[in-house]
Structure 1
Amino acid sequence: MTAPAPTPAAPLVTLDSVGFRYGNVRALRDVSLDVRAGEVTCVLGDNGAGKSTLIKLVTGLLRPTEGTLCIDGEPVRLSGPRQALARGIAAVHQDLATVPLMPVWRNFFLGSELTRGPWPLRRLDIAAMKATADRELRGMGIELPDLEQPVGSLSGGQRQSVAIARAVHFGARVLVLDEPTAALGVKQSGVVLRYVAAARERGLGVVLITHNPHHAYLVGDHFAVLRLGAVELSAPRSEVTLEQLTHHMSGGAELAALKHELARTAGVDTDHLPDEG
């Protein structure tokens, strides 16, 4: 007798028919998405597709004007990023919220410094912060020769990796990465993607926002493509190929429709135009 398939764990975050309006402008409409522990959910889309608005909804900067946001199956109305972080949702933005001239260990604890001693003689516990930062970075596979070096002296990929390790240390269960490879070369993008995979292996739910289908397909478990605020494609890795993902990202469906529309227009020869996809 065949054993029943295991029941998948409940999503950490669920967007159920979520929409958002900026006045009369509908930035998102009817977006449904699950973020699960130990999975990388890739959200792709061109400029203006609604990716930034989606980030703001998940991290508490905005509240949906339509639909429901759930955390651990519970409908919530987040009042801001601090409340989202208290529920285990952390965002790593492109600017990384780091101070370039401060050392790595200080940036790791920026805003959450460890102290020791009674008030009013309380002081920074520098030794504890250095030891913790070193341990957490190594736990993510990040080995830096000198935690005293300014974080601005690190490569782009290393800075992204430090920000990821920091979010994991401070209790993130859901990690939202906003275009982490957008300004990086191939080698540094590979560094970041390795740490995205490491976060998944540690059981986090990762939301990777990107416009690069090749990067997404290297680490993604589920893919959602946004176009003009709506979900054009939502599929697990087993049901979509890199070619199909690239086709959707490049607007292949729209180009194909345009070709056929032009073909019906009298006097327009489109035989020389290749099929998209």
Structure 2
Amino acid sequence: RELLWGGPLRLLDHAAMRRRAAEGLAEIGVNVPSVEVAVGALSGGQRQAIAVARAVLSQARILLLDEPLAAMGAREARLIIDLIERLKARGDIAIAMIAHNYAQTLEICDRVVLMQHGEITFESAAAATSAAELLEIIRREYRAARAG
């Protein structure tokens, strides 16, 4: 949120905004070179972390992540996974993640829900299933749909 100086003109307080951004990023463990660096100059993982941080710092109660690890290298994906783990540990925000990488999904999530055409086809605790089981369920659903 914008921090404003009082008075009739209500000017932006850039120093306070930079300070609050740095504090907020540090609070959830996001490391960027400087809050003054253009987001476009950051790595994909850092940009994704900034997007997550914006939601968290705006006091969102639910965080919906759509393919948060797509097109990322291992190092960048690890940065986002670590951030998600820290947010989970805080316990003050619900996180729903849409993903197709089942190994990463099982590493991050507490529960797994498979959906097809808007219908839940499988639901389980992440610890009670495996990537192989999820793939087999999807193959079975695909074959059934093709046989149709």
> TM-score when scaled to structure 2?
0.88
- Give the whole-Å Cα distance in 1 for the aligned partners of 2:59 and 2:144: 47
Q: Which AA in structure 2 matches 1:144? A: V
Question: CA offsets, 1:34-66, max 9 Å, x none?
Answer: xxxxxxxxxxxxxxxxxxxxxxxxxxxxxxxxx
Q: Give the CA deviation at 1:256.
A: 6.4
Q: Give the CA deviation at 1:211.
A: 1.5
- Give the whole-Å Cα distance in 1 for the aligned partners of 2:28 and 2:68: 17
**Contiguous gaps of at least 5 residues in structure 2:** none
1:236 is aligned, of 112, 125, 129, to: 125
Q: Would you say 1:148 and 2:148 are equivalent positions? A: no
| Partner residue in 2 for 1:170 | 58
Q: Would you say 1:133 and 2:26 are equivalent positions? A: no
Please identify the structure whose Cα radius of gyration is greater: 1
The verdict on how the C-alpha distance between 1:209 and 1:257 changes in structure 2, with shifts beyond 3 A counting, is closer
Q: Give the CA deviation at 1:178.
A: 1.3
Q: How many residues align?
A: 145
Structure 1: 4+ residue segments shifted above 4 A: 255-258
- Give the secondary-structure state (helix, strand or coil) at the position aligned to 1:123: coil
Q: Give the CA deviation at 1:229.
A: 2.1
Q: Give the CA deviation at 1:119.
A: 1.3
- Give the secondary-structure state (helix, strand or coil) at the position aligned to 2:87: helix
1:223 is aligned, of 95, 112, 116, to: 112
Q: Which AA in structure 2 matches 1:148? A: E
| Partner residue in 2 for 1:116 | 5
> TM-score when scaled to structure 1?
0.49
- Give the whole-Å Cα distance in 1 for the aligned partners of 2:83 and 2:106: 15
- Give the whole-Å Cα distance in 1 for the aligned partners of 2:46 and 2:75: 11
- Does the CA contact (< 8 Å) of 2:45 and 2:76 recur in 1? yes
- Does the CA contact (< 8 Å) of 2:106 and 2:127 recur in 1? no
Q: Would you say 1:208 and 2:126 are equivalent positions? A: no
Aligned residue runs from structure 1 range 79-94, under 5 A: none
Q: Which AA in structure 1 matches 2:28? A: M
Higher helix share: 2
| Partner residue in 2 for 1:99 | none
Please, what is the CA RMSD of the aligned residues?
Answer: 1.9
Q: Give the CA deviation at 1:210.
A: 1.0
Q: Give the CA deviation at 1:142.
A: 1.3
- Give the whole-Å Cα distance in 2 for the aligned partners of 1:138 and 1:245: 36
Structure with the bigger RCO (C-alpha within 8 Å, sep 6+) is 1
- Give the secondary-structure state (helix, strand or coil) at the position aligned to 2:64: strand
- Give the whole-Å Cα distance in 2 for the aligned partners of 1:245 and 1:194: 24
Question: CA offsets, 1:191-219, max 9 Å, x none?
Answer: 11111111111211100111111221111
Q: Give the CA deviation at 1:255.
A: 6.0
**Contiguous gaps of at least 5 residues in structure 1:** 1-111, 262-277
| Partner residue in 2 for 1:268 | none
Q: Which AA in structure 2 matches 1:180? A: P
- Give the whole-Å Cα distance in 2 for the aligned partners of 1:216 and 1:225: 11
